[in-house]
């Protein structure tokens, strides 16, 4: 199993959720209101000089599905090249 984590600006929440649901990924965990600084989109700290926040979408999938999720991210990055979308994948040891 793998864990897929996708970080994106809160502004894109509806679009991101719809993209993954349309691709039949309907089971996920989402964390709203995260903050951080990125290389492409800059700081999103929820304060006046660095407004905005991020969300993180987590999806646990079998190893062979990671490439499908990453292709969705590639499409989103092509459609919105300055959005600062970032995906991470890592080994999921257990899912209970």
Q: What share of the chain is helix, strand, coil (3-state, %, to 5)?
A: 30, 40, 30
The pLDDT tens digits of the residues spanning 55-67 come to: 999 999 999 999 9
Q: Would residue 96 count as lying in a domain?
A: no
**Structural domains counted in the chain:** 1
Identify the domain containing residue 75 by its residue range. 2-91
Q: Is the pLDDT of residue 36 over 90?
A: no
CATH number, domain with residue 74:
3.30.70.120
Q: Tokens representing 62? A: 């079998």
pLDDT digits (tens, 9 = 90+) for 1-24: 999 999 999 999 999 999 999 999
Q: Are 22 and 11 in contact (CB under 8 A)?
A: no
Q: Does some domain include residue 44? A: yes
pLDDT band at 41 (very low <50, low <70, confident <90, very high): confident
């Amino acid at each position: 199993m793998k864990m897929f984590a996708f970080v994106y600006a809160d502004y894109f929440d509806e679009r991101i959720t719809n993209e993954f649901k349309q691709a039949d990924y309907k089971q996920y965990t989402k964390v709203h209101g995260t903050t951080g600084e990125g290389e492409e989109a800059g700081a999103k700290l929820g304060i006046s000089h660095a407004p905005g926040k991020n969300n993180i979408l987590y999806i646990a999938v079998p190893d062979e599905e990671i490439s499908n999720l990453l292709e969705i991210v590639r499409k989103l990055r092509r459609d919105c090249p300055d959005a600062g979308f970032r995906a991470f994948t890592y080994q999921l040891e257990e899912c209970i």
